[in-house]
Amino acid sequence: MALKNLWEQERQERLQITAERRQQVNQWKQLTQQELQLQADLLHQELSSYVTSLHNNRKLQQQQFQQEIVERQLEILQIKTDVCQRQQEYRQQRAAKAQALFQDLQNFRAILHKSVWGDVYDGLCLRSHGQAVSPTPAKKEKLVATVPKLAISRSAIKATGFRPTVNTMTRKVPVLNADTVKSKVQQYIQQAQGATLIEIEEVIGLSRVQTIDILRSLIKQGILEQRDRQYFIRQQTIS
């Protein structure tokens, strides 16, 4: 009986210790769950505040970006307007300068033609348009080339190797009557049985521009013909 009572007593003690430990574990579990729940609530609150703050900041930044975009668009529109105005001003300035330059060139061309051609150019222009030629002035300057020079043959000129020593396009020549010059050119070509532009220019004493214009006029009239850079009298004209 003594052993049984001792075992029963020890058993009761063990059950009591187990119950106490179970109670302690349950208390610890409750405390731990409460702490975890409290921490979870705090964390959830912090996350909610952070998300709300981010959302507000995003809205604020979006509004700022939209405002900056509107300002940039206004600046771009202003720049485009300024560029268009400047382009219009530059176009007007260029047009005015071009008009002034064109007028200056027209005046210079008229002065140049007057200084080069003189009355011969006016007479040829009037004749080409079917108008009456102005009367020949009473006083005429003598030709640079004399009558004996008209009899010089083309072979003699080539043998001497003559070349012009001045620029025949810009040298000054005496003002001659158009019909007289044409007659002398035709007479020289007929005597030389053909002549080049340089030969006619040197013998008659004309400038390059005057010589070309007179030869072109004679070709249009059917008096001359051009072959291999030489000018000849048409056979029909001779006959």
How is 108-177 classified by DSSP, letter by letter? HHHHHHHHHTTHHHHHHHHHHTTPPPPPPPS--PPPSS-HHHHT--HHHHHHHT---SS-TTT-------
**Residue 42 backbone phi and psi in degrees, to 5:** -65, -45
Which run of H or E residues covers position 205?
Answer: none
Burial of 192 (C-beta count, 10 Å sphere; 0-12/13-18/19+): buried
Tell me the average pLDDT across 106-111: 87
Could you tell me the pLDDT band of residue 1, with boundaries at 50, 70 and 90?
A: low
Structure-model confidence comparison of residues 121 and 112, the more confident one:
112
Structure-model confidence comparison of residues 61 and 237, the more confident one:
61
Burial 215-231 (b: 16+ CB within 10 A, else e): bebbeeeebbbeeeebb
For the chain, what are the domain ranges? 1-93, 139-238
Residue 195: name the closest of 233, 237, 148, 139 by CA.
233
Percent of the chain with pLDDT over 90: 35
pLDDT at residue 118 in the model: 59
Q: Which two tokens stand for residue 192?
A: 């030389």
Tell me the average pLDDT across 138-165: 40
Per CATH, the number for 139-238 is: 1.10.10.10
Which residues sit opposite 42 in a β-bridge?
none
Structure-model confidence comparison of residues 141 and 48, the more confident one:
48
- Tens digits of residue pLDDT in 56-93: 999 999 999 999 999 999 999 999 999 999 999 999 99
Contact criterion met (CB below 8 Å) for 134 and 122: yes
- Tens digits of residue pLDDT in 13-38: 889 899 999 999 999 999 999 999 99
Q: How far apart are CA 6 and CA 164, in angstroms?
A: 158
DSSP class of residue 221 equals T
Tell me the average pLDDT across 209-214: 88
pLDDT at 2 over 70: yes
Specify the amino acid at residue 154.
Answer: R
Calculate the alpha carbon distances from 146 to 126, 211, 222 in Å: 28, 17, 27
Beta strands in the chain (DSSP E): 195-196, 224-227, 230-233
pLDDT at residue 236 in the model: 64
pLDDT at residue 77 in the model: 92
pTM: 0.30
